């Protein structure tokens, strides 16, 4: 029988939840890296023992951690055995993980500035790693999406990282703006059928696609409408919260935007709204059923100023028709006085025959459903605010 491992990143450490295929009883391990913000953890799809974690602190900076035994032990790639596991204040990535920015061929200087809408120059910064995406075929190759809005790759298991400069070097880079949470590259999608394709999303710049392994990029925001920017239908500048896809169909994408739930049937070349009968089309998270490419999940939030469920009722909404027609999933979820949020990377699915769905809240609860969302139960309560949830299905 397969086992399930749920990787939970929180404001004050990482937690690993494990269960068998029934998903009724859970073991909780953690906190790992207690007191540190763990923005994201992700396991390799080709090595079940390999997990990467983004560990960050305003005091010590940003570190990438790696486990080669399923989360039992961790180390910083490139750090000698017995070396300290923290970095001096102010050192961007620590001595263990080197993130190397690209440099301009003309000046030899780093590509380190962009502009606000009024033309005021603003320097690019390295603040944190928001999302880690391991390769689909090599456990030592991994991508990292950072703030400010850059994509990096490591080919040696996280020791050295090099920027894919074509993204920020795209002609629209000077128009990118930070969203409320910063200018974060928070979504990275890889297509098993097209290994040369990478899709990313940036808040608040929009979605971008590369069809040549990250060398060149194009904005894929046609059909997006954002009334809060100078040109509501601009090529870039949209606050995309998350994008999801099913591995069997990389052309079918689902997006949760800052207002609007959308769908693309052509790998992002065009989008159309599928909010339908949702109580509100604002939210952060979106995900797709493991076996049904047209079954999609969202968690509506009241508004961009009130980040909690409408009417204080925590409801996951599911569409089995690829959007427009939505049903509220409430069995086992609090339906009164619930004012938590579900952040953009805080939902995931397993790949068991009866698809499991998991999400975490800013109130520290992690909920799981072993029947595709029909019924829910808390796996664990009272964790620090949950930043991310990922799942490994272990054979």
Residue 182, CB-side half-sphere exposure with 13 Å CA sphere: 16
Mean pLDDT of the chain: 90
d(CA 225, CA 227): 6
Question: Residue 109 CB: number of other CB atoms within 10 A?
Answer: 10
Looking up tokens 């039992």 gives 72
Q: What is the pLDDT of residue 61?
A: 85
Q: What are phi and psi of 44, to 5 degrees?
A: -70, 135
Is 245 within 8 Å of 209 (Cβ atoms)? no
Q: What are phi and psi of 173, to 5 degrees?
A: -55, -35
Is 55 within 8 Å of 64 (Cβ atoms)? yes
DSSP state of 345: B
Residue 339, CB-side half-sphere exposure with 13 Å CA sphere: 3
Tokens of 164: 């894919």
Burial 255-292 (b: 16+ CB within 10 A, else e): bbbbbbbbbbeebbeebebbbeebbbbbbbbbbbbbee
d(CA 101, CA 88): 20
d(CA 21, CA 3): 5
Is 312 within 8 Å of 265 (Cβ atoms)? no
Q: What is the pLDDT of residue 170?
A: 82
Residue 12, helix vs strand vs coil: coil
| Cα dihedral across residues 75, 80, 85, 86: positive or negative | negative
| 337-365 pLDDT, tens digit each | 999 999 999 999 999 999 999 999 999 99
Nearest Cα to 350, choosing from 116, 84, 13, 3? 3
The vertex-287 CA angle with 284 and 289, nearest 5°, equals 160
d(CA 86, CA 82): 12
Q: With a cut of 70, list the residues of the chain below it in pLDDT.
A: 1, 79-98, 100-123
DSSP codes of every residue in 170-215: STTGGG---BTTBSEEEEEEEETTEEEEEEEEEETTEEEEESSTTS
Is 102 within 8 Å of 163 (Cβ atoms)? yes
Bridge pairing between strands 316-319 and 327-329: antiparallel
What is the radius of gyration, based on Cα positions, of the chain? 20
d(CA 17, CA 5): 6
């Amino acid at each position: 029988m397969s086992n399930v491992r749920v990787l939970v990143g929180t404001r004050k450490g990482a937690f690993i939840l494990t269960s068998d295929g029934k998903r009724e009883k859970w073991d909780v391990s953690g906190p790992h890296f207690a007191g540190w913000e763990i923005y994201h953890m992700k396991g390799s799809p080709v090595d079940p023992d390999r997990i990467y974690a983004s560990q960050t602190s305003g005091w010590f900076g940003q570190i990438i951690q790696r486990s080669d035994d399923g989360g039992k032990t961790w180390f910083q790639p490139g750090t000698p055995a017995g070396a300290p596991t923290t970095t001096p204040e102010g050192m961007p990535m620590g001595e263990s993980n080197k993130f190397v920015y690209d440099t301009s061929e003309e000046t030899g200087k780093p590509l380190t500035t962009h502009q606000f809408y009024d033309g005021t120059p603003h320097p690019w910064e390295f603040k944190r790693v928001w999302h880690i995406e391991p390769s689909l075929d090599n456990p030592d190759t991994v991508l990292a999406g950072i703030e400010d809005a850059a994509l990096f790759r490591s080919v040696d298991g996280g020791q050295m990282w090099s920027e894919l400069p074509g993204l920020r070097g795209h002609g629209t880079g000077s128009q990118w703006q930070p969203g409320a949470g910063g200018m974060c590259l928070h979504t990275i999608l890889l297509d098993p059928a097209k290994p040369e394709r990478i899709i990313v999303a940036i808040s608040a710049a929009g979605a971008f696609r590369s069809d040549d392994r990250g060398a060149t990029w194009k904005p894929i925001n046609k059909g997006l409408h954002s009334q809060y920017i100078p040109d509501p239908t601009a090529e870039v500048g949209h606050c995309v919260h998350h994008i999801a896809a099913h591995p069997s169909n990389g052309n079918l994408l689902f997006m949760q935007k800052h207002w609007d739930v959308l769908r693309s049937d052509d790998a992002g070349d065009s989008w159309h709204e599928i909010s339908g009968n949702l109580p509100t089309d604002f939210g952060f998270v979106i995900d797709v059923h493991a076996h049904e490419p047209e079954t999609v999940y969202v968690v509506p939030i009241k508004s961009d100023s009130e980040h909690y469920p409408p009417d204080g009722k925590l409801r996951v909404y599911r569409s089995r028709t690829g959007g427009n027609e939505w049903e509220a999933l409430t069995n086992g979820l609090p339906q009164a006085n619930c004012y938590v949020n579900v952040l953009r990377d805080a939902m995931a699915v397993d790949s068991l025959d009866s698809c499991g769905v998991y999400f975490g809240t800013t109130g520290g609860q992690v909920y799981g459903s072993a029947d595709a969302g029909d019924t829910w139960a808390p796996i664990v309560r009272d964790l620090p605010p949950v930043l991310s949830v990922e799942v490994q299905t272990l054979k």
